[in-house]
């Protein structure tokens, strides 16, 4: 994150961005313990995406959350909000101690984000398949008002089963919205198992390209690769909408959760909690080979 007036010529601090990804994971574990349940693995797959977006890429001003020129972010996979709230608190959108109310009666922070209650949330989400349409509306709004902000929509791969996503994809290309970015968290898992077994979404690149989008595909846990993908985006007056397919691993960063459908929602207690916190603090290890 930087203020939109701030020049962009500094080198990214990769160690800091990786540290913030660890912070996103550990805060998710901490908040899930307050609720007694949480979407750990859906956040772990996007920790580097959130870190690179919010601590480097986006044009935002936490002191002015409604700045009409700010970049827009739609967390279409709203169940990952538990990992976004700590980022917004860390950036100064609200007092971080408020997070201690997470999911308690009357808290602004539910499992899915509410734009009317949480500063920094650009649109409420939770029902999968809606976010890209919201993004199309925001991108059209930018065009109508001659504003140069970019709209980013973060979707899960299994979410692409929803038909409305493709209605939105069609319309984004038809309306020439090069100021719209769909970031696909291709973590390969839905609730019932591997996306390819439940309802396959590949070939993703070809599907988006055939809908008129320009597509990049990157390792979604590789911080420099993500930054390079953002840098490669054309200017916002471009007419082809932009997709970044981020190949990720659901549960990345905690070995027992990687590729596991059993941790879509879970609750870590006792020694497990401490062990997971220690594993997260140690940083990403190479992935284990999978059968």
Partner 1 sequence: MSDQDTTTLPEGTTDTDAQDQSDIFNGTGQAGLRNARSSDGNDVRAIPAFVFGEELADLADVDPRVVVLTADLARANRAVDFAERHPDRFFNVGIAEKNMITVAAGLASCGYVPFAATFASFAALLGCEQIRTDCAYPQMPVRVVGHHSGISMGFYGTSHHSPEDLGIMRTIADLTVVCATDAQHLRALLRASLDHPAAMYLRLGRGRDRDVYDEVPELTIGKAITVRPGKDLTIIATGSEVEPSLRAAESLAAEGHDVSVLDMFTISPLDTEAVLSAAARTGAVLTVEEANVTNGLGTAVAECLFQSGLGQPVRFRKLGIPDAYVPVGPPAALYAHYGLDAAGITKTAKEMLR
Q: By the criterion CB under 8 A, which residues form the site for partner 1?
A: 68, 74, 114-116, 122-124, 126-127, 130, 133-142, 144-145, 163-164, 167-168, 170-171, 174-175
DSSP sequence for 68-83: TTSPEEEESSGGGHHH
Shortest approach of partner 1 to residue 170 CB, angstroms? 7
Q: Which helix (H) or strand (E) holds 219?
A: strand 214-219
Judged by beta carbon, residue 99 or residue 139, the one nearer partner 1 is 139
CA gap 50, 121 in Å, rounded = 13
Nearest CA-CA partner of 69 in 140, 2, 150 = 150
Report in angstroms how near the CB of residue 120 gets to partner 1 at its nearest: 14
CB of 72 to partner 1, least distance (A): 8
Which of 127, 239 has the CB closer to partner 1?
127
CA separation (Å) from 271 to 23, 36, 40?
Answer: 20, 15, 17
41 vs 151, which CB is nearer to partner 1? 151
CA atoms of 1 and 229, how far apart (whole Å):
16
Cβ 260 to partner 1 shortest distance, Å = 29
Measured from the CB atom, the residue of 136 and 276 that comes closer to partner 1 is 136
Token match 């709230």: residue?
85
Cβ closest to partner 1, residue 132 vs residue 189: 132
DSSP 184: E
21 versus 74: smaller Cβ distance to partner 1: 74
State how far the Cα of 165 lies from the Cα of 130, in Å rounded to an integer. 7
Q: How far is the CB of 136 from partner 1 (least distance, A)?
A: 5
Taking the complex as a whole, how short is the minimal distance between the CB of residue 252 and partner 1, in angstroms?
29
Determine how many CB atoms are found less than 10 A away from the CB of residue 264: 18
């Amino acid at each position: 994150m930087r203020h939109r007036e701030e020049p962009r010529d500094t080198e990214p601090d990769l160690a800091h961005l990786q540290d913030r990804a660890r912070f996103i994971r550990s805060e998710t574990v901490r908040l899930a313990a307050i609720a007694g349940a949480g979407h750990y693995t859906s956040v772990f797959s996007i920790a580097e995406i959130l870190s690179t977006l919010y601590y480097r890429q986006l044009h935002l001003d936490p002191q002015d959350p409604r700045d009409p020129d700010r970049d827009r972010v739609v967390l279409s996979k709203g169940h990952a909000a538990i990992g976004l709230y700590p980022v917004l608190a860390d950036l100064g959108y609200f007092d971080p101690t408020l997070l201690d109310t997470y999911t308690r009666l009357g808290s602004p922070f539910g499992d899915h984000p509410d734009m009317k209650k949480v500063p920094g949330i650009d649109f409420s989400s939770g029902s999968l398949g809606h976010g890209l349409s919201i993004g199309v509306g925001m991108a059209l709004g930018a065009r109508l008002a001659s504003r140069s902000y970019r709209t980013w929509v973060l979707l899960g791969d299994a979410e692409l089963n929803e038909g409305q996503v493709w209605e939105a994809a069609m319309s984004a290309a038809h309306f020439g919205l090069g100021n719209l970015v769909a970031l696909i968290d291709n973590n390969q898992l839905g609730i019932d198992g591997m996306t390819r077994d439940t309802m396959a979404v590949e070939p993703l690149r070809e599907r988006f390209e055939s809908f008129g989008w320009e597509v990049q595909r990157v390792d979604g846990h590789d911080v420099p690769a993500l930054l390079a993908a953002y840098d490669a985006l054309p200017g916002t007056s471009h007419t082809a909408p932009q997709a970044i397919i981020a190949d990720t691993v659901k549960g990345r960063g905690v070995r027992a959760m990687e590729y596991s459908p059993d941790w879509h929602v879970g609750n870590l207690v006792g020694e497990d909690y401490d062990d997971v916190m220690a594993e997260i603090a140690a940083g990403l290890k190479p992935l284990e080979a999978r059968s």
